[in-house]
Each structure stands twice: as C-alpha cells, then as structure tokens.
Amino acid sequence: MPKTAFVTGITGQDGSYLADLLLSKDYHVFGMVRRSSTENFARIEHIRDRITLIQGDLLDASSLIKALERAKPDEIYNLAAQSFVPTSWDQPILTGEFTALGVTRLLEAMRAVCPDARFYQASSSEMFGKVREVPQTETTPFHPRSPYGVAKAYGHYITLNARESYDLFAVSGILFNHESPRRGLEFVTRKITRAAAAIKLGLQDSLELGNLDARRDWGFAGDYVDAMWRMLQQDAPQDYVIATGSTHSVRTLVNLAFASVDVNPEAHVRISAALIRPAEVDLLVGDPSRAKRELAWSPNTSFEQLVEMMVRADYDDLSGTHLGATARQTRTLKTIKSRRNALSAK
C-alpha cells in the first residue's frame, strides 16, 4: 500500500526536491502552503497535478491540526522555516516563531492527531556556529551565531525531547549547506552563479559580496533529500549529520563560477561592508560517517559539478534557452532600456 507523506515548506528548494523523490517512490504527497495574494509555486509547477496542497501556517496551531487530520500521514517532513540567516537579525522574533516554536506546534499537532507517524526536523549546521571541533559530528556542541542558528537549536532539542518524552519517532537531520538551480536568489551560491551568467551575457556589470573568506561544506540538494527519506526508514530514531566532508571558501566558489563562463571575477566583484554579518560562521565542514555507515548514504555530486550545474542552469535561463519568469523580466527591461537609449539618441 502506498505511503502518505506530509511536507511543510514544499514550495521551497528542499520541499520541491523531496516531493520529486517521494513521488518517484509512489508516495501520496500532501504539501502545506501558506495563503498568499499571489501564488509562489514555481518550484512545484511540474508536479502540481500529482500532489495535494493544503493551506496551513507554522504560526497557526489549529491549521496544523486540521492539515494532519486531512492528510493522515505516515511520514511528516518539517522543512518550513524562515531560512535566510541575515533576515534573522532583522526579524529575530518572527524567526523564532517560525523556525523554533513552529516545530513545537507541529510536534504537538502530530501527538494529538497521528502519534504513530514518523517526524523529520530540518536541523542545520548553523547550530555549530563558532565551531568547537573540526569536522563537526552529531556530538559536537552547538554555539549558534545568529538568531536563525539559535532558533534551529531550539527546534533540534524540542524534537529530541519529543522522542525522549513521548516515545515519538522524531529525528533531526543536521544538514550542511546544500544548493541547486532551485536555490533562492539571495543565498551566496545562487547569487554568484546567477551573476556569473548575467555578466557573461552582458545583463549585469558587477556583483557585490560580503565575506569571501567564509568556508562552507556545500552539497547538492537533490542528494540531501534522499538522506531525509532514509532517516525515516530506519528501525530506530536517530539524528544524523549530512555533509560532503569537504569545505571551500566563498572566494573559491566565485573563482570557479566565473571561470566556467570565462569571465575574470576581479573586474566585476566588489566587497560591500553592508553584506558583512554581525557575527559570522567562519568554517563549517561536516563528518557524515554515521550517515554513510547506518543509512548507506553518500553524496553523488562534487562541489565542482554543483557549481557547473548551477551556472549552466542560470545561463540557460537568462539566455532564454529555457525562458523563465526572471529571464523574461530581464529581457523586457533590457528591451525597454535599449528603446529608451535609442529614443534619447534621436
């Protein structure tokens, strides 16, 4: 009999890849979406007719109860969050409401409606923050450096507490940075790959960045959602670090992305003090040994392949090979600008 999954954050990067994976395994997929005046379903457009969307919000406990009553899930994946670190300094209370207390609301709803379901919490390497050891493992102490990291640490411990207090099958995946062509445009990988493609195409002149020395363990989101699924298929609930085990600086990322389109970054990249964070996470690198051993999981995509994949996708999108909404907007703006220039030259 096919299983049923309930995914919060289905409109986000990971939610869309996870939905693809679950559909390929014949799951019945319910996705929770927030009410909005305009639809925000670009990442799930290709599977809209194969999934069931239910309105709900992590801020509204009653909506979570109703959604779970309707979906009756075997598995719950809590991927929804305010996930952009800089926004967490500007909106620390809202970040706490979504990213921290939202987890408790969903766990309480599960306890009331479907206590036998299995629960996945999207924990983050940002919890390690000012790292206490290198590489980071499941037992490395947390020292978060942003309101986002602090909120994720709460979500992590409340999930562990639900497991220990109520015997729920509730686990956390401590995922290191993972990226893709579906990554939000404000995250550093996508900002860089999109800019490299746009500069190559003559659509953009320069790129402003913050700290080029920060180091991250970057993997491919498509590989990481498979680890989430594997965690919920285990006999016993357990938390896992999901990472590649390699770390690179933002500077290396810039050089690789620009080299792939044969553009010299020094002519285009500027440092903006406004993009330096109040407190930085300098170095992240995870040790995925437990996941390799117990989940038989390992990443399939190298850092170099990831950057190449993202630059190519952005180049195709912007050049119109696969005309997306952003590309159409950019083209329209370009046409307006060139018409205006032509008029003023007359």
Examine the residue annotation and report whether 123 is marked as an active-site residue of this protein.
no
244 vs 308: CA distance, rounded Å: 17
Task: Work out the number of other CB atoms within 10 angstroms of the CB of residue 159.
Answer: 26
Q: Map residue 236 onto helix, strand or coil.
A: coil
Report how many residues bind ligand NAP under the rule CB under 6 A: 24
Answer whether 176's CB lies under 8 Å from 244's CB: yes
**Residue 11 vs 136, nearer CB to ligand NAP:** 11
Return d(Cα 100, Cα 94) in angstroms, integer.
10
What's the one-letter identity of residue 207?
L
> Which of 92, 184, 245, 324 is the binder for ligand NAP (CB under 6 A)?
184
Residue 177 found at the interface with ligand NAP (CB under 6 A): yes
The yes or no reply on residue 66 touching ligand NAP (CB under 6 A) is no
Q: Residue 310: which residues within 8 A CB-CB, separation 6 or more?
A: 179, 180, 181, 183, 189, 190, 193, 257
Give whole-number Cα distances, 75 to 9, 119, 164, in Å.
Answer: 14, 6, 19
Binding flag, residue 150, ligand F7E (CB under 6 A): no
124 is an active site residue:
yes
The answer to whether 159 contacts ligand F7E (rule: CB under 6 A) is no
The phi and psi torsions of 324 (rounded to 5 degrees) equal -100, 175
> Which does residue 209 bind out of ligand F7E, ligand NAP, none, counting CB within 5 to 8 angstroms by kind?
ligand F7E
Q: Is 113 in the site for ligand F7E (CB under 6 A)?
A: no
* Residue 227 engages ligand F7E in binding (rule: CB under 6 A): no
Q: Give the pair of three-digit tokens for residue 289.
A: 């040994």
> Is 126 among the catalytic positions?
yes
List active site positions.
Answer: 124, 126, 148
Name the residues that contact ligand NAP, by CB under 6 A: 8-9, 11-15, 34, 40, 57-59, 79-83, 98, 122, 124, 175, 177-178, 184
Positions in the binding site for ligand F7E (CB under 6 A): 83, 85, 124-126, 176-177, 186-189, 191, 209-211, 214, 216, 250, 275, 277, 280-281
